[in-house]
Amino acid sequence: MSGDSHVDINVRQDGKRLLVEIETNVSSQYDLIYNSISQYVTKDAMSPDVQTYVVKDLGTIYITVTDTSPYDPLKREYDIHIVPDKRITAYN
């Protein structure tokens, strides 16, 4: 990405399940994911550190938002983990 922006995507396989991790400081990446899942969320929870969304026929998405170092009020670090349900596999 341009400037000091970054997006790191890790996909790993655990048996038949795929786990996706996205680390970014680009707010449009967060917005894209949030807007994509918003109509499919069946349950959500907010804590001071983690946003949790249970998405129909996908799994659970955990989003951790932290301030950047050095502090920049316009940038934040987003750590997004997509964990599939036990019944959702790579073959689905």
19 to 40, 65, 69, 81, 88: CA distances (angstroms): 19, 19, 27, 7, 11
Backbone angles phi, psi at 3, to 5 degrees: 65, -135
91 part of a folded domain:
no
CA 12 – CA 86 distance, rounded (Å) = 15
Predicted confidence band of residue 92 (pLDDT cuts 50, 70, 90): low
41 part of a folded domain:
yes
Mean pLDDT, rounded, for 40-60: 90
89 part of a folded domain:
no
Strands (E), the chain: 7-14, 17-24, 41-46, 50-55, 59-67, 76-84
What pTM did the predictor assign?
A: 0.80
Mean pLDDT, rounded, for 50-70: 88
**How many structural domains comprise the chain?**
1
1 part of a folded domain:
no
Domain carrying residue 26? 7-84
What would the pLDDT profile of 4-46 be if each residue is shown by its tens digit? 788 899 999 888 788 899 999 888 888 998 899 999 999 999 8
